[in-house]
């Protein structure tokens, strides 16, 4: 049985993956740059790039790479650079529905599978007070789309798809692919 490596320093991905198997973390040095790709294609491209970069350093292991991309009106909403950007993004998402794509790649010698999930997320209409309070908490600053569904703030009215995919790793789908990867048992 090959050792599993998570090619991510994300604490949320680490926590989600701990629920299904043992692994170690080796952050990827893959440079996240892409032009002309859809949000789904970007999430998959980055996930595969991360996994393959780490696999190049640890070729006897099985590597899981992941990336989450938030898209609204055909625009990718990355991580905000500051509180002002977080506030602007939250205002834009307020009362609207957007898509969250989480790309995943599991790669090892003789195995490579890349896929993504889409979750449609609808926000409540957000008050300026709530937007500012959330931005001031600092929580939006390390998250694509300037929010975390798990952060405990009343932002999300409903969602269709994978809750854990929005957090950063679609657990059920990942479990199935890990089992498929040469019958890797978690």
Per the CB < 8 A criterion, the answer to whether 146 and 153 are in contact is no
State the catalytic residue, choosing from 60, 67, 142, 151: 67
Q: How far apart are CA 104 and CA 98, in angstroms?
A: 20
- Among this protein's residues, is 67 annotated catalytic? yes
How far apart CA 39 and CA 60 sit, in angstroms, is: 31
Q: Tokens standing for 140?
A: 């939006």
What angle separates helix 83-93 from helix 128-137, to the nearest 10 degrees? 140
How far is 24 from 7, CA to CA, in rounded Å? 9
- Catalytic residue set: 67
């Amino acid at each position: 049985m090959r050792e599993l490596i998570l090619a991510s320093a994300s604490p949320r991905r680490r926590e989600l993956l701990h629920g299904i198997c043992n692994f170690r973390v080796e952050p990827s040095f893959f440079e996240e740059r892409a032009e002309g790709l859809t949000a789904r294609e970007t999430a998959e491209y980055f996930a595969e790039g991360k996994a393959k970069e780490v696999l190049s350093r640890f070729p006897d292991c099985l590597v899981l790479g992941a990336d989450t991309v938030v898209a609204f009106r055909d625009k990718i909403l990355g991580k905000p650079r500051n509180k002002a950007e977080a506030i602007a993004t939250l205002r834009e998402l307020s009362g609207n529905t957007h898509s969250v794509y989480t790309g995943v790649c599991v790669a090892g010698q003789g195995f490579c599978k890349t896929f993504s999930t889409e979750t449609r997320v609808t926000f409540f209409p957000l008050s300026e007070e709530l937007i500012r309070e959330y931005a001031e908490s600092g929580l939006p600053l390390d998250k694509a789309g300037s929010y975390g569904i798990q952060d405990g703030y009343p932002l999300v009215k409903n969602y269709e798809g994978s809750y854990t995919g929005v957090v950063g790793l679609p657990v059920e789908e990942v479990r199935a692919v890990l089992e498929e990867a040469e019958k890797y048992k978690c």
